[in-house]
Structure 1
Amino acid sequence: MSSGYWAGLGAAEFAHQLGTTSGRQAFRRGSVALRSGSGRPLQADKLARNVQNEVFPYELNYFREAGRLSEALWRLDGFWSEASNADASDEQDLLRAREATAMLATARWMYRSALARQESRAMHRRDDYPEQDDRYRHYVTTGGLDDVWTSARPLRSSQYAEAAE
């Protein structure tokens, strides 16, 4: 809950360090809401509500359990498939469409990461794995858009003491 605040603060500080955007080359990641040709517009507000319905309920996002996570992820993956085959409504809706798509991508990364960590640690709580497990004393890294992946990234030795506290 507060981690979103910290993530936003970190993103804002990073953007501030980069300075002005003029003269910087922008890179486009993913093509959802940037394509045209399907004739079916992406409905950004509906997509945002659908994502919120999968991440707001405590029984999905706070009281995590493999079955509930998998069902929510199945629905989120379906939303991704629909969004991937849709067009942006028009130039005015492009920003909202990309925002909704970013919400969807983040939700899919979140739940795939949660399934990869079969333990409870810090704010990550699993009803089906209520204890900490030292086999998971590592970072879970995630990425990908159409095909979401996760991997384990080990802690540096100096971080082991912090993780044990």
Structure 2
Amino acid sequence: MARVFVSIGSNTDREVYIGRGLDALQQRFEKLELSPVYESEAVGFSGDNFFNLVAVFETDLEVGELSRTLKKIEDDNGRCRKDPKFSGRTLDIDILTYDALIGEIEGVTLPRGEITENAFVLQPLADLAPKERHPVLAETYQQLWLDFDKDKQQLERIAFEWQERDLSA
């Protein structure tokens, strides 16, 4: 079984689609560990603010099959693939890490570059797994977050409940 971290985001009916995405992930992968949920401005385009969080779970799926499974969850939740890369979306689920794999694997670049580029990925990842190490940089996510330029992107932790779980702590 591989240990996988994914980022989850939405800026369209955010509560609805984050909840549906988490439901689908739990149905497929059962035990999810979840970070707090954050609100952030859109990056790369003008649009509504996003809700973002990180989840970790175990899977027996290979990287390519996992990627296809996550894309199907997005598609089942109204994701439009004809829109520009940087645009609003109902649901976005990206593989951040898959165990400690490094490189281009079945069309997926691991670890995902957004880990160190975007506060909306790194902060929830540092909350969820502060002592875990980045597969390439070998620094903990906590240390990477401490070193991150926090003026670059503003985040706000928000109150969010899913299946009677408080994801704001």
Asked if Structure 1 and Structure 2 have the same fold, meaning a TM-score greater than 0.5 normalized by the shorter chain, the answer is no
Instruction: Write 1 or 2 for the structure with the bigger share of strand.
Output: 2
Larger RCO (CA under 8 A, 6+ residues apart): 2
More helix per residue: 1 or 2? 1
Please identify the structure whose Cα radius of gyration is greater: 1
